[in-house]
Structure 1
Amino acid sequence: MAMALPGSLYIGSVIVGLCYGVRLAITVPTASELFGLKYYGLIYNILILNLPLGSFLFSGLLAGLLYDAQATVTPSGGNECYGPHCYRLCFLVMAGACLFGCALDVLMGIRTRDLYRKISASKRSKLVVNGT
């Protein structure tokens, strides 16, 4: 999206929509498996808090500030900016944040690998004991 290629807005919108959908779908089992069900409501809400908070910080504050920095002041007192350069830096900052989040996801996957092995082994041993 930062390069402003034809059709990149559509492709970017589809990717963002898929990511939001996957994020919402995996939050429920992740919260219950990693933290248990005792304080599930609180933990789930903390995990979901990033969606509105990120939207406000990136779309509201960051995009607005960077747009105003790129825009030129018109004689009527407003700001105008045309072209892909208006939001290029914003898209690059968001891409960097996404890469950082992806790296944290990989780190979490590595750190929880043993937990999921134990869960899988426990389920297999229960199946063997039950004779199924």
Structure 2
Amino acid sequence: MSRLVRVLKNRNFSFLWTGHTLSHLGDNIFRVALVWLIVTETNSARATALVFMAFFIPNILVSLFAGATVDRFSRKGVILASDGVRALMTVLLAALVLLDKVELWSVLCLYVFFGIADAFFQPAYTVIIHELVDRDGPPPTR
């Protein structure tokens, strides 16, 4: 049996991979919608760059500590909390748009928290894959 088939037969890994694929798809759709929102609301490339800096700067700074923090908590819990925070930020932004209350400062604030949550997701996801699938094959499913 090929390694890929063995790995995909691991129920926990399959759930993780499916969830991450859907989450990643949603994140990328959100980013496209965010660019569209900023450009239509401000007509400014600078505002768009500022919003993405609001994501990346906290993300990079928090990433320095996120790996150590992830080692102290359940990786699954960190992943779920991170996805939950990112989903909440997305829903809050959608609500602001629907209520016609969206302003640049609110988008900046929401995207800062989105970036911080993402900083915790990445190391937790990387480590949990190695916990679920080792080099010799996946652990037995329970």
TM-score (norm: length of structure 2): 0.44
Which of these two proteins has the greater Rg computed from alpha carbons? 1
Identify which of structures 1 and 2 has the higher relative contact order when contacts are C-alpha pairs closer than 8 Å and 6+ apart.
2
Q: Which has the higher helix share?
A: 2
